Chain A
Amino acid sequence: MRLKRATRACAVTLALMCAWAASAQGPLEHKPAPDFIRTDFDGRRVTLSELHGKVVLLNFWATWCAPCQAELPHFAEWQRRYRAQGLQVIAVSMDDEPKAPRALASKLKLGFPVLLGDEKLGELYGGVLGFPVSFLIARDGTMTARIEGEADLQALEARIQELLAQK
């Protein structure tokens, strides 16, 4: 019985590690995350470099992207759950106009900054040419992962917990 449980645990861990390794490839990994200054839909200034000391989940999304819509409520839940431990979610809408994402962000009560992106911000992050794309940034500002497409939420949350545990 114990052996079976251990085998299953190993298999799950291996699968999570493989999924994570597959997602963590790209030119920005292990480098300082590109800094940006933007104003969110609530009029607050968001400066990435001022978030040093926090684990940042930076998510690029669009209102008409179905996988993005599926992720956002989970990110809102994580923001509530892990805020005290130092998680900061930032959502960058890549819609062409602010009206729809502003309305959706307000409706969903996300509890984290939501701002409008553009091609310059996309290019700064290696090109955002498909949605959703998320980036995970460690407390020291180092990019640790680029996650293309809808995230494996279990693996992503495990990685966030791991980064939060690093002081």
Chain B
Amino acid sequence: MSFARLFLACALLVVVVPARAQFAQPAAAPESAMSIPQDHVMQIDELNDMLKDGKAGKPLILQVGSHVMFAQAHIPSAQYAGPGSQPEGQHLLHAKVVNLPKDKVIVLYCGCCPWTRCPNVGPAYAHLMQMGFKHVKVLYIASNFGDDWVRRGYAVEKGD
């Protein structure tokens, strides 16, 4: 290889490799909301239709954020299962589902923070998958529960 070709190859490496790194999608952290497969993500309208449809079997809806939020407003029939990012939340979640059949349809949601920064749904989802549940969906809340559910006029319940 001539010096000129070697120089050109090195120059290409210097230019192309950082460019690829810059535009490459960073890998999602193992337990971030971004790591949840798309086919396990449920849209708000889809859940709302499911709740209104008397024929469809009602899923178990679990809120895996803070109890302070849950007490202010939560999706009708939802149960509080503790913050998914905290050990006590994982224990409570485990206790809620441990005796359920593994084909039970379970919908998780949090809405504490924007989806990309939610610390709770990813670990809660991973926990249920490790327990062998086959039909786990995570509600996609883009901004937060207040903006995306309550202020859009969907039904809520208050209290424990």
Contact = CB atoms under 8 A, between A and B. Distances in A.
Contacts of B67: 96
Main secondary structure of the interface of B (DSSP, over half): loop
A130 B111 contact: yes
A131 B114 CA distance: 9
Given A66-B113, A96-B66, A96-B67, A129 B119 contact: no
Nearest to A66: B117
Given A64-B86, A148-B144, A149-B143, A130 B112 contact: yes
A161 B26 CA distance: 38
Interface-central residue, B69, B143, B147, by most chain A CB under 10 Å: B69
A67 B114 CA distance: 9
Interface residues of A, number: 20
Interface residues of B, number: 23
A149 B66 CA distance: 16
Contacts of B111: 129-130
Contacts of B112: 62, 64-65, 130-131
Interface in A83-100: 94-96
B68 to A, nearest CB: 5
Contact of A149 (B68, B73, B119, B144): B144
B59 interface: no
A94 B72 CA distance: 12
Contacts of B120: 64
Contacts of B114: 67, 149
14 contacts: A62-B66, A64-B120, A65-B112, A96-B67, A119-B72, A122-B72, A123-B72, A127-B150, A128-B69, A129-B72, A130-B112, A130-B113, A130-B147, A148-B146
Interface of A: 62, 64-67, 94-96, 117-119, 122-123, 127-131, 148-149
